[in-house]
């Protein structure tokens, strides 16, 4: 999964959380999914940061 | 028998002698051209004198002249010293002479003195005529208008092989740091008809002109000298017409010859010609060196500014990357906060509860009847409750939870 795909999915979840009436039943599931995706993005961001630093040092 | 009255030949010659002595008792100044001159074994000098018609060239007068051995030094020697010229065939002279008549040898002139100024003046006049002629023909600047190569590396040399000037020239070139190729075209460089000899050498070079960069006419090391042939129209004309630039080192300091005047680059001596050739090569070498240094500087500057630009790029890339990463981090933080707001734990913490009937969250009172058992989830557990009353939102009041 790419960073962009992850972000798109997080945005989709946020949108559903904001709008959908019927969200209570799957709420914790979606929050958990969003949290997991955020962690994934953070990891990707950290990796990108360290890669950028490594490249710039060369 | 009537014998005709007569005199003998000797008597006639005697009368002529007397008449001449009476008519020309004193020395006279005479101008004429030297048609021939020799000094015989005994040291006496015999000169054939001539006068030609200026226009037609036809002989108008002729006479023999003598300078006795005892007079040679004081007459010819003095003339040559004063004029700087050797007394030769073709020269116009003004001399003081007595007229002698001999019964056997006829009339002859005995020269006592020769005026150097007259000959110099005549030569100067002829030189001027030659200059005027070349200018009138529009060839005066022809050789000078040729382009001298930046490096004169292949030189056709006109000289006599044994001349000291030629040795000087070769020695000077030998000292050069540059390899200058020479080829000698031998010619007679002084005396009678030397102009023809030089012109012949020029023709020989002209046939192979693509093999050379320039021609050097050199002469020198001689003592007093006749430069007359270097004022020759034929030689000067050949130089003006020459397909290669002509350098001269004729080796004289008093006067400039017509050949020097029409040459591309006239120099004083053979050594000066060699030094000039060497210097020209050195100048070119210097220019090359200068260009090489400029080129190196330009390259250095270019790489330096490119490096600087890259440095800037790299800084910018770093900056942009950091900014992107930073903003992305902030965005993720924002999203995380938003998501956290939706977490059920938080909702419960705020005091909200979730009511379910048959496992489905309740969002309206419509689906619930009095007496139904519903499940209520709160922060630290669940409650099962029975509905005792149901009211629509118009007159909403705190819900009474019957347990």
pLDDT in tens, B211-238: 999 999 998 755 445 677 888 899 999 9
Query: At which of B122, B149, B169 does a domain end?
Result: B122
Shared-domain flag, residues B18 and B153: no
Rounded distance, CA B360 to CA A23, Å? 11
Give the rounded percent of residues in chain B with a pLDDT score beyond 90.
57
Q: Which residue has the higher pLDDT, B162 or B184?
A: B184
Shared-domain flag, residues B221 and B168: yes
* Res B249 pLDDT > 80: yes
Q: Is A57 on the interface with B (CB under 8 A)?
A: no
Q: Does residue B41 lie within any of the structural domains?
A: yes
The CA distance from A30 to the nearest CA of chain B, in Å, is 9
Query: At which of B86, B101, B122 does a domain end?
Result: B122
Residue in this structure with the two tokens 């320039």, named with its chain if needed: B214
CB contact under 8 A, B321 and A52: yes
Q: Does residue B291 lie within any of the structural domains?
A: no
Q: What is the ipTM of this complex?
A: 0.74
CATH number of the domain residue B242 falls in: 3.40.50.2300
Q: Which residues contact B332 (CB under 8 A, 6 or more apart)?
A: A38, A41, A42, A45
Q: Is A41 on the interface with B (CB under 8 A)?
A: yes
pLDDT in tens, B108-147: 999 999 999 998 888 888 889 999 999 999 999 999 999 9
Shared-domain flag, residues B52 and B171: no
Residues of B whose CB is below 8 A from A15: none
Q: Is A36 helix (H, G, I), strand (E, B) or coil?
A: helix
Which residue of A14, A38, A52 is in closest CB contact with B332? A38
Shared-domain flag, residues B253 and B354: no
pTM of the model: 0.60
Residue B258: which domain range? Answer: 128-281
Mutate to test the interface with B, among A11, A27, A29, A36 (most CBs of B within 10 A): A27
Q: Does residue B295 lie within any of the structural domains?
A: no
pLDDT in tens, B51-64: 999 888 899 999 99
Residues 171-200 of B with CB under 8 A from A: none
Mutate to test the interface with B, among A16, A26, A29, A41 (most CBs of B within 10 A): A41
Residues of A whose CB is below 8 A from B322: 52
Mutate to test the interface with A, among B312, B335, B353 (most CBs of A within 10 A): B335
CB contact under 8 A, A38 and B339: yes
The chain-wide mean pLDDT, for chain B, equals 88
Q: Does residue B314 lie within any of the structural domains?
A: no
Q: Does residue B356 lie within any of the structural domains?
A: yes
Which residue of A24, A31, A49 is in closest CB contact with B343? A31
Shared-domain flag, residues B228 and B152: yes
Q: Does residue B357 lie within any of the structural domains?
A: yes
User: Is residue B106 within 8 Å of B16, Cβ to Cβ?
Assistant: no
Q: Does residue B60 lie within any of the structural domains?
A: yes
Rounded distance, CA B392 to CA B367, Å? 12
Shared-domain flag, residues B112 and B140: no
Q: Is A46 helix (H, G, I), strand (E, B) or coil?
A: helix
Paired with B32 in beta bridges are B93
Query: At which of B66, B100, B122 does a domain end?
Result: B122
| pLDDT for residue B223 | 41
| pLDDT for residue B190 | 79
Residues of B whose CB is below 8 A from A46: none
Where do the domains of chain A lie?
3-57
Q: Does residue B273 lie within any of the structural domains?
A: yes
User: Is residue B97 within 8 Å of B108, Cβ to Cβ?
Assistant: no
Average pLDDT for residues B321-350, to the nearest whole number?
Answer: 85
Give the rounded percent of residues in chain B with a pLDDT score beyond 70.
95
CB contact under 8 A, A45 and B332: yes
| pLDDT for residue B224 | 42
Nearest CA in chain B to A29: B343
Shared-domain flag, residues B155 and B259: yes
Q: Compute, in degrees rounded to 10, the torsion defined by CA atoms A26, A27, A29, A33.
A: 130
Mutate to test the interface with B, among A14, A18, A24 (most CBs of B within 10 A): A24
Shared-domain flag, residues B103 and B133: no
Minimal CA–CA distance to B233: which of B196, B264, B186?
A: B196
Beta-carbon pairs below 8 A across chains A and B: 52
Q: Is B334 on the interface with A (CB under 8 A)?
A: no
CB contact under 8 A, A28 and B321: no
Q: Is A23 helix (H, G, I), strand (E, B) or coil?
A: coil
* Res B245 pLDDT > 80: yes
Minimal CA–CA distance to B379: which of B351, B402, B357, B355?
A: B351
Q: Indicate the pLDDT class of residue B153, thresholds 50, 70 and 90.
A: very high
Q: Is A13 on the interface with B (CB under 8 A)?
A: yes
Shared-domain flag, residues B109 and B194: no
* Res B201 pLDDT > 90: yes
CB contact under 8 A, A45 and B343: no
Q: Looking at the 3D structure of chain B, how many domains does it have?
A: 3
Q: Is A10 on the interface with B (CB under 8 A)?
A: yes
CB contact under 8 A, A38 and B336: yes
Residues of B whose CB is below 8 A from A42: 329, 332
Q: Is A52 on the interface with B (CB under 8 A)?
A: yes
CATH number of the domain residue B83 falls in: 2.40.50.140
Shared-domain flag, residues B140 and B245: yes
CB contact under 8 A, B325 and A48: yes
Exposure class string for B143-180: b at 16+ Cβ within 10 A, else e: bbeeeeeebbbbbbbbbbeebebbebbbebbeeeeeeb
CB contact under 8 A, A52 and B325: yes
The CA distance from A43 to the nearest CA of chain B, in Å, is 11
Minimal CA–CA distance to B177: which of B293, B285, B287?
A: B285
* Res B298 pLDDT > 80: yes
Shared-domain flag, residues B272 and B374: no
Q: Is A39 on the interface with B (CB under 8 A)?
A: no
Shared-domain flag, residues B99 and B162: no
């Amino acid at each position: 999964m790419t960073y962009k795909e992850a972000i798109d999915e997080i945005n989709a979840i946020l949108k559903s959380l904001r709008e959908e009436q019927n969200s209570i039943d799957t709420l914790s599931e979606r929050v958990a999914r969003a949290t997991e995706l955020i962690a994934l993005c953070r990891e990707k961001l950290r990796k990108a940061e360290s890669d950028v630093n490594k490249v710039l040092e060369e | 028998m009537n014998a005709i009255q007569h005199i003998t030949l000797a008597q006639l010659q005697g009368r002529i002698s007397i008449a001449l002595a009476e008519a020309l008792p004193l020395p006279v100044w005479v101008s004429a051209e030297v048609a021939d001159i020799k000094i015989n074994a005994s040291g006496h000098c015999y000169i054939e004198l001539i006068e030609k018609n200026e226009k037609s060239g036809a002989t108008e007068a002729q006479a023999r002249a003598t300078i006795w051995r005892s007079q040679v030094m004081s007459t010819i020697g003095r003339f040559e010293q004063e004029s700087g010229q050797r007394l030769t065939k073709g020269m116009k002279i003004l001399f003081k002479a007595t007229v002698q008549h001999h019964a056997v040898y006829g009339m002859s002139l005995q020269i006592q003195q020769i005026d150097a100024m007259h000959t110099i003046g005549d030569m100067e006049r002829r030189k001027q005529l030659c200059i005027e002629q070349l200018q009138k023909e529009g060839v005066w600047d022809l050789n000078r208008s040729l382009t001298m190569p930046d490096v004169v590396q292949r030189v056709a040399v006109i000289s006599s092989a044994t001349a000291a000037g030629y040795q000087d020239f070769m020695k000077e070139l030998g000292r050069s740091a540059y390899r200058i190729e020479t080829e000698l075209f031998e010619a007679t460089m002084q005396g009678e008809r030397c102009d023809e000899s030089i012109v012949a050498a020029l023709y020989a070079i002209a046939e192979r002109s693509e093999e050379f960069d320039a021609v050097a006419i050199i002469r020198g090391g001689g003592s007093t000298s006749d430069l007359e042939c270097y004022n020759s129209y034929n030689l000067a004309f050949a130089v003006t017409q020459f397909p290669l630039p002509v350098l001269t080192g004729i080796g004289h300091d008093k006067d400039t010859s017509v050949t020097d005047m029409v040459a591309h680059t006239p120099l004083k001596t053979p050594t000066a010609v060699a030094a000039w050739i060497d210097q020209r090569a050195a100048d070119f070498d210097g220019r090359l060196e200068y260009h090489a240094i400029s080129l190196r500087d330009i390259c250095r500057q270019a790489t330096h500014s490119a490096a600087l630009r890259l440095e800037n790029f790299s800084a910018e890339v770093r900056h942009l990357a950091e900014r992107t990463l930073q903003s992305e981090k902030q965005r993720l933080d924002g999203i995380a906060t938003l998501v956290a707001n939706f977490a059920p734990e938080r909702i419960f913490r705020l005091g909200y509860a979730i009511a379910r009937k048959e496992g489905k969250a309740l969002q309206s009172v419509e689906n619930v009847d009095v007496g139904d058992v519903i499940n209520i989830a709160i922060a630290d557990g669940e409650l099962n409750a029975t509905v005792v009353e149901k009211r629509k939102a118009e007159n909403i009041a705190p819900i009474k939870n019957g347990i």
